Amino acid sequence: MYDHFPISDHAKKMREKLLKFMDDHIYPSEKIYKQQVEEGDRWQPVPIMEELKAKGRESGLWNMFLTHDADKYKGAGLTNLEYGTLCEIMGRSSIGSEPFNCSAPDTGNMETIFMYGTEEHKAKWLKPLLDGEIRSCFAMTEPAVASSDATNIETRIVRDGDDYVINGTKWWSSGAMDPRCKIAILMGKTDPNAETHKQQSMILVPFDSPGVTVKRHLSVIGYDHAPHGHAEVEYKDVRVPVTNILLGEGRGFEIAQGRLGPGRIHHAMRSVGQAERALQMMCERGMERTAFGQRIAEMGVTKHWIAESRMEIEQARLLVMHAAYMMDTVGNKVARREIAMIKVVAANLVQRVVDRAIQVHGAQGVSQDTTLASSFANARTMRLVDGPDEVHRETIAKLELKQYRN
């Protein structure tokens, strides 16, 4: 059906394998996962996930996000488009990505180190991340300023001899609650006097450095997302060797830009997958339940919702696939309008479709009995993650208006 897009046979086979893995292992584990989180120490690894990761490692689907032809890191050699179609499938379950070491923010962090790190960085941090031995976080957003405008970021990175000394507070460091989180990629100001887009740098901060304190976890519309979690982290006189800087001082924005594209595709396609699942649940539930002598699915308004959802999903999927295709063929820079668009479209899509699915489920839809309630909370959050919708709409509008300036 989508065969106008170039998908290799290799990718198609991975897709088949992934679909089977989802059916055989992921979906049946969802309830168990939830239960184990509820019953155990919320902030420790979850047994069923460790089992799934073991299976994922054997499946040949491990690290498939690593699209680069990096033989020694055993990436899957997929294009953004190809991997995107797999993200949709993984995205259907909230536990669908981690079994393949494909969950955010690790994927983005691994890509960042792969692209911008030294061989030493790779040996020390990329290797164990790819092996799933450690986890990582990305330390950008700050509580004290509107971080949607990254020039507002205030954390200081000050050179002192062979070290950089870091001071500041970051929050929404996703994954930082996990005891296995060992490395942060942190963005901060090295030179407040440089021109605006040269002030910030990115640096690798070992998470067990003295002065790094996880202050608390942040919840997301009532969910703590344990054991992964989102943390507020204080960096107080944290010292790291100068070699930990990525690319060099003042290149934070450059890295942020380079890092963006693939992550957007992943997020957006996972959202499409989440929306597909919500639509499926809407139909199933609607066919099961009867009110006022009619199946809920066959009431006029429900049919209207189903149709709207189908139309929105199809359009969003095509848009994301098209954006991925453009990234693959003309590069992230030319495709930046497309990358901005999918951010807005996918997050709002899933919010709307899940909202309708909840309505069809009635009160069950907001309870812990289905995945809809947490999807709804996630969707709300996706409209803020990586910058609120409005920032991306600004970008799209600016690119549009550019052609009319002269």
Under rule CB under 8 A, which residues in 8-47 are in contact with a second copy? none
Q: Which stretch binds a second copy (CB under 8 A): 64-72, 123-131, 179-187, 330-338?
A: 330-338
Tokens encoding 141: 């957003």
The binder of a second copy chosen from 8, 213, 219, 243 (CB under 8 A): 219
Does position 307 bind a second copy by CB under 8 A? yes
How far apart are the C-alpha atoms of 134 and 127, rounded to whole Å? Answer: 9
The binder of a second copy chosen from 157, 185, 327, 344 (CB under 8 A): 344
The binder of a second copy chosen from 93, 112, 141, 155 (CB under 8 A): 141
The nearer residue to a second copy, 1 or 208, going by C-beta atoms, is 1
* Cross-strand partners of 164: 159, 240
The residue behind tokens 């919010």 is 351
How far apart are the C-alpha atoms of 20 and 59, rounded to whole Å? Answer: 11
The binder of a second copy chosen from 126, 297, 327, 353 (CB under 8 A): 297
Q: How far is the CB of 331 from a second copy (least distance, A)?
A: 13
> Are the CB atoms for 258 and 117 separated by under 8 Å?
no
The nearer residue to a second copy, 217 or 239, going by C-beta atoms, is 217
Map the footprint of a second copy across residues 232-291, applying CB under 8 A.
Answer: 279, 283-284, 286-287, 289-291
**Interface mask toward a second copy for 354-373; x: CB under 8 A:** -x--xx--xxxxxxxx---x
Report residue 84 CA to chain centroid gap. Answer: 12
Q: How far is the CB of 54 from a second copy (least distance, A)?
A: 30
Q: Which stretch binds a second copy (CB under 8 A): 94-102, 155-163, 178-186, 309-317?
A: 309-317
| Torsional class of 293: left (φ above 0), alpha (ψ -120 to 50), beta (otherwise) | left
The binder of a second copy chosen from 44, 118, 148, 169 (CB under 8 A): 148
> Are the CB atoms for 263 and 115 separated by under 8 Å?
no
Q: How far is the CB of 324 from a second copy (least distance, A)?
A: 10
Map the footprint of a second copy across residues 375-404, applying CB under 8 A.
Answer: 376-377, 380-381, 383-385, 388-390, 392-394, 396-398, 400-401, 403-404
Map the footprint of a second copy across residues 154-183, applying CB under 8 A.
Answer: 171-172
The binder of a second copy chosen from 28, 221, 257, 331 (CB under 8 A): 221
Give, in order, the Cα–Cα distances in Å from 347 to each of 141, 207, 260, 344, 378.
19, 31, 16, 6, 9
Tokens encoding 263: 């992550």
Strands, DSSP E only, in 69-180? 135-139, 156-160, 163-174
Tokens encoding 293: 């002598």
How far apart are the C-alpha atoms of 327 and 339, rounded to whole Å? Answer: 9
Q: How far is the CB of 182 from a second copy (least distance, A)?
A: 24
Q: How many CB atoms lie within 10 A of CB 152?
A: 11
| Strand pairing class (290-291; 230-241) | unpaired
Map the footprint of a second copy across residues 76-105, applying CB under 8 A.
Answer: none
